[in-house]
Amino acid sequence: MNEKLAKLLEAVEYGKVDQKSPYPPNLKGMDGAHELTQQALDAGIRPQDILEEALIPAMGNVGRKFSENKIFVPQMLMSAKAMGASMAHLKPFFASGKIKSRGTFVIGTVKGDLHDIGKNLVAMMVEGAGWTIVDLGVDVDAGRFLEALSKNPGAVVGLSALLTTTMTNMGEIVAKIKESTPDTVIMVGGAPVNMDFCRKIGADFYAPEPRGAVDFLNQLAS
Amino acid sequence: MNEKLAKLLEAVEYGKVDQKSPYPPNLKGMDGAHELTQQALDAGIRPQDILEEALIPAMGNVGRKFSENKIFVPQMLMSAKAMGASMAHLKPFFASGKIKSRGTFVIGTVKGDLHDIGKNLVAMMVEGAGWTIVDLGVDVDAGRFLEALSKNPGAVVGLSALLTTTMTNMGEIVAKIKESTPDTVIMVGGAPVNMDFCRKIGADFYAPEPRGAVDFLNQLAS
Amino acid sequence: MKYTQLVISDPSQLIFGNTPYPVKTRRGLDIGGGQVYSELNFTLPVMSINDQTLPQVYDHYRQITEGALERALHLNSKGVILEFETLLEMTKTPAIGVEIVKIMNDICENYYQKHGLASEIRLTPNDLREFERPALQRTSRLLEPMFQLFEEGMLAGGDLLSIESTGGKEVSDEALMMCDIKAVLFSLAVLGVRDMQFLWKKIVALAGQHGKIAAGDSACGFANTAMVLAGKKYIPKVFAAMVRVISVVRSIVAMEQGAVGPDKDCAYEGPFLKAITGIPISMEGKTAACAHLSPVGNISSACTDLWSNESVQNIKLLSGMAPTAYMEQLEYDVRLMNTAIKKGTTHSHILQQLFVESDVYTDPQALVLDPANVIRISSALIRGDSYVANARNGALEFIEILEETLATGQMTLPEMESSYIPMLREELQGIPDSESDFIEMMLPQIDSSKFILSEYGL
Amino acid sequence: MKYTQLVISDPSQLIFGNTPYPVKTRRGLDIGGGQVYSELNFTLPVMSINDQTLPQVYDHYRQITEGALERALHLNSKGVILEFETLLEMTKTPAIGVEIVKIMNDICENYYQKHGLASEIRLTPNDLREFERPALQRTSRLLEPMFQLFEEGMLAGGDLLSIESTGGKEVSDEALMMCDIKAVLFSLAVLGVRDMQFLWKKIVALAGQHGKIAAGDSACGFANTAMVLAGKKYIPKVFAAMVRVISVVRSIVAMEQGAVGPDKDCAYEGPFLKAITGIPISMEGKTAACAHLSPVGNISSACTDLWSNESVQNIKLLSGMAPTAYMEQLEYDVRLMNTAIKKGTTHSHILQQLFVESDVYTDPQALVLDPANVIRISSALIRGDSYVANARNGALEFIEILEETLATGQMTLPEMESSYIPMLREELQGIPDSESDFIEMMLPQIDSSKFILSEYGL
Ligand code: B12
Ligand code: B12
């Protein structure tokens, strides 16, 4: 692999945002994702390759280490920040069509429910896998999902719920989405949700952990 | 109330089968249900009245005391035996149409399931309420219920299940019965069953305890 | 009866985690050797088992095993027994049962190799013979799948063999409802004993052949049924407690035939078996509230070697799957006992005393589990020359203890309960010593269409 | 901070069932007065709450209350607290919450009149303010339904008032995920403290007006969230344990405003509050495995006065409804503690010792709950002049204890965990004594669009 990309991969994997950032201690003073991305672009490396060969594999490693309990969330968040610093450089190329996003993922915690820690983790890991995220936040009703879908046609939807009394709102939201855009792929999750419930309300996929969501989306995209 | 009927009521309520029976100790040597029924018939009391004014109220008292935990099952079983001794005298009048049974109750534990203690208790208490019982035993499939219904048109059906893996057989049996005789009233019970499940499989009634079953049947009959 | 002397005759020696004849397992558990282990039990949620659903069935058992062992590992467990008590279809079609054992055993092995967590599977096939009435205890074709599952299942990793056998149940069911203690005694001390002799000779031989562990058989359909009925106030507790005592002479036959324990949970004969034979036992109490409510929540742990939850469905609770949650509860219970053992006899005895005193006078069924009473009753249970006499003597000793306790005022019983005491004593006293005399006495009184004497070798 | 001295400074006095300032209730419970009681918590199964389903909702609560009290009665319970922690709809529309309190209270009263079983309802409305972001802690219209439910609910029989208030949570959520201890401290010791002062002044006044009991507030959304995240290995346990310690300075504000306990379960600040203020507390551990898994299953009961299961859905288990089963489990746990109390201090201390030693060195979150450590940390928590200084001092004392323990070898931590210790210490040491200095230091570092200072009186 190109040495520049290898360095960028390392910076993202270990959460080195930019040269000034103190974290991680062992990379102190060295270039971060910010600088390394600029250098890669300057060296004429294709933006698509930067994404596919450095950022996504880096976040893939991070996700794997996280699933294996080898790192904690803050480390993962630092990597996500580093990736963000890199993505800032790549943004224009998405707009111009030079990079194709893997797809758009609209996620939210359903109406009545304010639990968002799990949802945020899922969003972060999906973003790391190269998807564009539209995070609608918490307490989101069907209308707002439909609106987001009309702005992002073809997006995959993710619903999160942590309360047994808001899980039922998931069913409603799924029904309304399937009514207006039957082809929309919908994924559900959250502690009280399970595969049976997912089937029952007519959603397409359930994963107990973000990892499963990422794997499923990657399959969709490939 | 007629004194003879009052005595019969007492004999049944306290489980005095016949003169010879040693139980209950405090009625030792006295006439039991067997003798008292004969005497009532000899005195020209209408068979229907014997049933309605002595036996059913006696068993009603027994059922109430049982639900209130004032007596144990053996006492209830002795009363059921005493009622049986009385019914032996009344049987011809059912055949001739002089007594109208409250109805027929077909009960069984569903396919794959051998638990019958609960089912037997329900059968006994329903019998005490003046219903004719057809007990199909345990491990009963849909075919046998349909057969019993064709022999006893209009009968109410009771299904019992104690295993989470045989509960699902209840659903099948209910479906088949409702298909062939949609008007059949079906009641379900057993420890793992509940109201939601009853609704889900399309049965008509669920009771956690025999008392509820009796109340429901009595309403049906009235 | 083979045993004529108690292996443990001092109540202070009858304590959790220790027994004279511990059982060592393949992956290194030392049951009864100074440590209490959890025994997790579980079952499917509401679903059918058929060709279409089999993959889901297997998934459930995979998920249960993984969830439980992962949690046990997280809690630094010293080791776990997983009881796989089959559902009917899994014994009727032994291939299903065997496949599940394999799935579970692979996971156990993986946790053992990768993390050093030791676990073993107790394999408990169904006694299918109860599907035929009258039962063909010895000649039934249904014995074949049962033993196929025993054999192939143990080879697949089901190292501990148990069953809740049902010999005599055709008589006991009605006898319980009628509170007919003589019929109960007939069903357990005559029919049950004879069926156990037949069945356990075979199980022990098979286990011996493959170097596996013939564990034990609980009188669940008798004593546990009685407890549940008493819990619903359908029959007197006094009666249910007595059924438990009588069931000892039936369940001990497994040991007479060579079973070595750990005895199976759920019927609470364990403490008596431990006192008489010295084998390790499994018990359940408060942490089996998922399976049935109990009048012996704490006292049941007083002298146990495994601590079980009897059964819980694989359904979702707020924390996660129910078997995982129960694994955690068992582990913490067991930690408490093991900490006491580690600190020495003063601590273990005080903890045992608290277990005992918290329940002992609340219910006759708790009273019989006080280690001192277990020893007294056990002595009576081996005093006579026949199973019948022993069962009767044990039951009478229980009445003695009960009356002494009532006399001290430490325990009170409502009239409804206490009025059964003299009736029961009178009936027991009418029971002769000899089995044949007893059979002769009982045959006219029981509905003989219900069972076939020759199927019991009579 | 109001408290400058410990009410309980001797670890041997910090024990279950007893506290210097017990709380007596209407139906005669004497919480902390020599007896541990069960506190049962429960919730609906999967369902919506709306006009159509309201009758079913009420039925669920009726069934739960009856099932639980019937079981408690059967087990000779000395008394029960039923926590009614509302679901959103029940606070948003207070009439629903009030109706449920009435239903429950009628059943409680009936069991009291008919059977002498004493029970009380702890009423815990939702903190609706978290629906608005940035939160309007003081000016929100949502305060109205909350206080309507408090007032009408207490009049309907919800005698014990609690809430899991959320002041500061808008900062804490992200801080937890980032393991940013300074931001956590800011959210708890600045924002949380100020919001608690505002909220609890009102609750205490209302309770006083009607002769009801202002009980307490747990930092569930902070400390319990941290524990769940640590349980999933998302954040270090060392960090989660420290969050718990810091949350004390926030939760104690309820007492400063006049709350008298029993403090609410679920955040485990209880033992510290008990040591500092002498109020009775509620804790949860192994028997809350239905609600969340726990690293403090036994040790959490070491000095509790109520013993809780946190929450369980009203779903069917094999034995019956889940709340009934959990009622039974709690009652047996509590019986064990009460038997020990009855037998005297030797027994209670040995039982406590077993609770403590069975968990203490398995997890930093358990370590902080050892009564001796609770006292040490509590002393540090009242040493300074500001909530900020106190929180920092408590957290540093925890690090001392942790390092001492690690040094003895009794406890070991993986590198992933231990590497956080110096980082945390360094960050803590940078925190100034004065609140205003600290605010000045933090404001540039936190996303200030998330909260409104004036809503915290700043
Ligand atoms: C007794 C018993 C047995 C006895 C049955 C004796 C008999 N003749 O019935 C024996 C030992 C044979 C037995 C066997 C088995 N059992 Co079993 N058994 C029990 C036990 C302990 C008590 C059941 C009982 O009789 N209760 C008392 C009666 C009076 O209550 P009831 O049946 O609920 O009935 C009442 C109400 O439900 C209602 N009712 C009942 N039927 C109906 C019908 C209608 C229409 C209405 C309105 C009302 C109604 O009224 C009744 C009176 O109040 C339960 C444990 C428990 N906690 O319930 C386990 C239990 C039901 N058994 C269980 C199991 C697993 C088994 C076995 C598979 C064990 C094995 N591995 O071999 C076998 C299966 C045999 C089979 N194919 O059915 C599990 C079920 C788990 C699951 N997955 O579903 C339980 C829950 C035990 C446990 N905790 O694990 N069992
Ligand atoms: C933290 C927490 C809170 C915090 C929330 C903070 C926040 N910003 O999210 C606060 C304190 C605010 C809170 C409030 C309440 N909570 Co809360 N809370 C919890 C707690 C302790 C942890 C949840 C959590 O964050 N877990 C960690 C995350 C990482 O896990 P997760 O959410 O499950 O997500 C993972 C997976 O599920 C999956 N996932 C999640 N979403 C999605 C989506 C997709 C598409 C996919 C594929 C995967 C996926 O991936 C994630 C990462 O692994 C749980 C207890 C528990 N055992 O879960 C209770 C719990 C969920 N809360 C509960 C309750 C009752 C409440 C309140 C009603 C309390 C009250 N009376 O006020 C309020 C309701 C507020 C509201 N309207 O939502 C109950 C729910 C009971 C019920 N009936 O359903 C629980 C179970 C606690 C309990 N045991 O009683 N709570």
The per-residue pLDDT for range D115-129, each reduced to its tens digit, is: 999 999 999 999 999
Is the shortest distance between the CB of B190 and ligand 1 below 6 Å?
yes
Enumerate the residues of chain B whose CB falls inside 8 A of the CB of residue D316.
192, 194
Question: Residue C392 and residue C429: Cα distance in Å, rounded?
Answer: 8
Q: Tell me, rounded to whole angstroms, the distance of Cα B72 from its chain centroid.
A: 17
Q: Is the pLDDT of residue A1 over 70?
A: no
Is the shortest distance between the CB of D291 and ligand 2 below 6 Å?
yes
Question: Residue D374 and residue D378: Cα distance in Å, rounded?
Answer: 6
Rounded to a whole number, what is the distance in Å from the CA of A143 to chain C's nearest CA? 29
Read off the pLDDT band of D133 (50, 70, 90): confident
Q: In sequence order, what E strands does D170-267 have? A: 213-217
Q: In sequence order, what E strands does D58-128 have? A: 80-85, 119-124
Span C362-389, average pLDDT: 98
Span B189-194, average pLDDT: 92
Using CA atoms of C61, C63, C66, C70 in order, give the dihedral in degrees to the nearest 10: -140
Q: Would you put residue C392 in left (φ > 0), alpha (ψ -120 to 50) or beta? A: alpha
Residue D235 has a pLDDT of 96
Enumerate the residues of chain D whose CB falls inside 8 A of the CB of residue B191.
318, 320
% of residues, chain C, pLDDT over 90: 96
Interface mutation target, options C43, C44, C48, chain B, most CBs of B under 10 Å = C48
Read off the pLDDT band of B97 (50, 70, 90): confident
Is the shortest distance between the CB of A201 and ligand 2 below 6 Å?
no
Chain B residue with minimal CA distance to D46? B196
Q: Give which of C59, C32, C122, C58 is closest to C85, Cα–Cα.
A: C122
**Relative to the CA of B121, which ligand 1 atom is closest?**
52
Q: Whose CA is nearest to atom 90 of ligand 2?
A: D311
DSSP assignment string, A34-79: HHHHHHHHHTT--HHHIIIIIIHHHHHHHHHHHHTTSS-HHHHHHH
Q: Are D160 and D262 in contact (CB under 8 A)?
A: yes
Q: Is the pLDDT of residue B222 over 80?
A: no
A112: CA distance to ligand 2 center in Å? 12
% of residues, chain D, pLDDT over 70: 100
Q: Whose CA is nearest to atom 91 of ligand 1?
A: C221
Residue C267 has a pLDDT of 77
CA triplet A40, A41, A42: central angle to 5 degrees? 90
Q: Is C316 on the interface with A (CB under 8 A)?
A: yes
Q: Is the pLDDT of residue C358 over 80?
A: yes
Q: Whose atoms come closest to the Cα of C169: which ligand?
A: 1
B137: CA distance to ligand 1 center in Å? 14
DSSP assignment string, D329-379: HHHHHHHHHHHHHHH-HHHHHHHHHHHHHHHTTT-HHHHTTSHHHHHHHHH
Q: Is C292 on the interface with D (CB under 8 A)?
A: yes
pTM above 0.90, yes or no: yes
pLDDT for D229-250, tens place per residue?
Answer: 999 999 999 999 999 999 999 9
Q: How many CA atoms lie within 13 A of C13 on its CB side?
A: 14
Interface mutation target, options A188, A195, A196, chain C, most CBs of C under 10 Å = A196
Residue D274 has a pLDDT of 98
pLDDT for C113-144, tens place per residue?
Answer: 999 999 999 999 999 999 888 989 999 999 99
pLDDT for D78-126, tens place per residue?
Answer: 999 999 999 999 999 999 999 999 999 999 999 999 999 999 999 999 9
Rounded to a whole number, what is the distance in Å from the CA of D279 to chain A's nearest CA? 31
Name the residue with tokens 């025999």.
B210
Enumerate the residues of chain B whose CB falls inside 8 A of the CB of residue D57.
none
**Relative to the CA of B193, which ligand 1 atom is closest?**
37
Evaluate whether chains A and C are touching (3 or more beta carbon pairs less than 8 Å apart). Answer: yes
Contact flag D291-C318 (C-beta cutoff 8 Å):
yes
Residue B165 has a pLDDT of 87
Is the shortest distance between the CB of C201 and ligand 1 below 6 Å?
no
DSSP assignment string, A156-211: EEEEE--STTTHHHHHHHHHHHHHH-TT--EEEESTT--HHHHHHTT-SEE-SSHH
Q: Give which of C237, C247, C182 is closest to C216, Cα–Cα.
A: C247
**Relative to the CA of D131, which ligand 2 atom is closest?**
77
Question: Residue D182 and residue A96: Cα distance in Å, rounded?
Answer: 42
Interface residues from chain A to C (CB-CB < 8 Å): 164, 191-192, 194
Evaluate whether chains A and B are touching (3 or more beta carbon pairs less than 8 Å apart). Answer: no
Give all domains of chain A, ordered by start, each with its CATH number: 1-100 (1.10.1240.10), 101-222 (3.40.50.280)
Q: Which of B127, B162, B184, B186 to mutate to test the pocket of ligand 1 (most atoms within 8 A of CB)?
A: B162
Residue C294 has a pLDDT of 94
Q: Which of D225, D234, D265 to mutate to test the pocket of ligand 2 (most atoms within 8 A of CB)?
A: D225
Residue D448 has a pLDDT of 85
DSSP designation for C450 = G
Q: Is the pLDDT of residue B1 over 70?
A: no
% of residues, chain B, pLDDT over 90: 77
What is the three-class DSSP state of D83?
strand
Rounded to a whole number, what is the distance in Å from the CA of D49 to chain A's nearest CA? 7
Contact flag B72-C234 (C-beta cutoff 8 Å):
yes
Q: Is the pLDDT of residue B96 over 90?
A: no
Q: Which residues of A9-21 are buried (b: 16+ CB within 10 A; e: fewer)?
A: bbbbbbbbbbeeb
pLDDT for A120-169, tens place per residue?
Answer: 999 999 998 889 999 999 999 999 999 999 999 999 999 999 998 899 99
Interface mutation target, options C47, C73, C318, C319, chain A, most CBs of A under 10 Å = C318
Which ranges in C116-218 belong to alpha helices (H)?
143-155, 169-178, 181-185, 193-210
Residue C65 has a pLDDT of 98
ipTM over 0.95: no
Q: Is the pLDDT of residue B55 over 90?
A: yes
Is the shortest distance between the CB of C231 and ligand 1 below 6 Å?
no
Span C276-300, average pLDDT: 97
Residue D266 has a pLDDT of 83
DSSP designation for C224 = I
**Relative to the CA of A161, which ligand 2 atom is closest?**
41
Give the nearest partner residue to C298 out of D319, D324, D336, using CB atoms.
Answer: D336
Q: How many CA atoms lie within 13 A of A2 on its CB side?
A: 18
Q: Which of D165, D311, D314, D450 to mutate to test the pocket of ligand 2 (most atoms within 8 A of CB)?
A: D311
Enumerate the residues of chain D whose CB falls inside 8 A of the CB of residue A139.
131
Q: At what angle do helices D371-381 and D270-277 cross, to 10 degrees?
A: 70
Q: Whose CA is nearest to atom 44 of ligand 1?
A: B189
Question: Residue D78 and residue D64: Cα distance in Å, rounded?
Answer: 19
Contact flag C339-D331 (C-beta cutoff 8 Å):
no
Mean pLDDT across chain C, nearest whole number?
A: 97
Question: In the beta sheet, which residues pair with residue D269?
Answer: none
Bridging pattern class, strands C18-24 and C30-33: antiparallel
Enumerate the residues of chain C whose CB falls inside 8 A of the CB of residue D338.
358
Contact flag A194-C316 (C-beta cutoff 8 Å):
yes
Cis peptide, bond prior to residue D134, ω within 30 of zero: yes
Enumerate the residues of chain B whose CB falls inside 8 A of the CB of residue C49.
165
Neighbours of C447 (CB within 10 A): 10
Name the residue with tokens 């194709």.
A100
Is the shortest distance between the CB of A121 and ligand 2 below 6 Å?
yes
Name the residue with tokens 């080898």.
A70
Span B119-131, average pLDDT: 91
Please, which residues have CB within 8 angstroms of residue C141's CB and are 6 or more apart in sequence? none
Question: Residue D278 and residue D260: Cα distance in Å, rounded?
Answer: 9
Is the shortest distance between the CB of B73 and ligand 1 below 6 Å?
no
pLDDT for C72-100, tens place per residue?
Answer: 999 999 999 999 999 999 999 999 999 99
DSSP designation for D133 = S
